[in-house]
Amino acid sequence: MDLVESASVGGFFALRGSAPPTAVPPGGEPSPLARLYAGETGPLTARVDAVAARLGTPERRVAASLAQLGLAARLWSVALGPAALYGRFPDLDPRDLYWNGSLTSPDDLWWAGAATRPGTVEELREAVQEAHLVPLAHAFHADSRISPRLLWGNAGSALAGALRELVRWARARERPEVGERAATLVSGLLGHPDLARTVRGPALRRTSCCLYYRTPAGGLCGDCVFDHPPTGKGPTGLETRPPAP
C-alpha cells in the first residue's frame, strides 16, 4: 500500500502516515477524532465558525453542512483510494486518526496507526461509515440541527465524488482496473439504507442539496439536485463545486 501514490489521485486522497506535527497554527490543536465523537466538540465548533467566516454566510447550518461534506469526502477518499488501488486500506481507527480543523486538505488528517484492512465493501462500511460518519452526523446535528437526510446526502455525494476522481485518475494512467474496482465498491456501499437513494442515475447526481447556493458566492455544485438556484439565492446559472471547507 503506497500512500504517496494514493495521494496522487488528488488532495482529498492524501493521508500523512505519521503522528501529527508539533508545530501547528495558533488555535489549531490536532486531536484524535475519537475525542470529537466522545463529546469534545470544540474543534468542530471552531471549524464551522471558520467555514462560515470564509464563505461569508450568516447561516450556521450552511457552514456546518459544507464542513461536514468536506470531512466526509476526506474520510471516504483516504479509504476508497487505497482499497481500489491495492485491495487494502488504512485501519482508520478514530483513536489513531488525527484531525486539525484549522487546516484543509491535504494537511488536516494524520494517521498514527499501522494496521490495514481488506478493501471490501463490508470493511469500508465498518471503517468509514460506522466508525466515523455515524458519530460525525450526530456531532454536526447537535451543533447546527441539520437534518439527517441532508447529512447522509452529503456523505453519498462525497462518496460519489471520490469515485469520479478515481475513475478520472485511472483513465489518465490507463489503469481501468482501478476505476472498475472503485465503482464496484461504491455500488455496494450505496446499497446501505443510510446511503441508498442519496444519489441517482449513472452520473450519481445527488437527491438533496448541501446548501452551498445559500452562500453569498452561491451557485450549484456539479451534482446538485437543483437545475437552477432556488429563487433569489445565488447567481443564476453559475455551476461550481464548493471550495474545500
Dihedral sign of CA atoms 27, 110, 103, 50 in order? negative
pLDDT at 19: 59
How many other CB atoms sit within 10 Å of the CB of residue 233? 14
Contact 106, 12 (CB under 8 A): yes
How many other CB atoms sit within 10 Å of the CB of residue 15? 23
pLDDT at 160: 94
The grid coordinates listed for 189 are 456501499
pLDDT at 35: 93
pLDDT at 221: 76
In the chain, which residues have pLDDT < 50?
232-244
Backbone angles phi, psi at 70, to 5 degrees: -65, -40
User: CA end-to-end span of the chain, whole Å?
Assistant: 28
pTM above 0.85, yes or no: yes
Q: One-letter amino acid identity for 177?
A: E
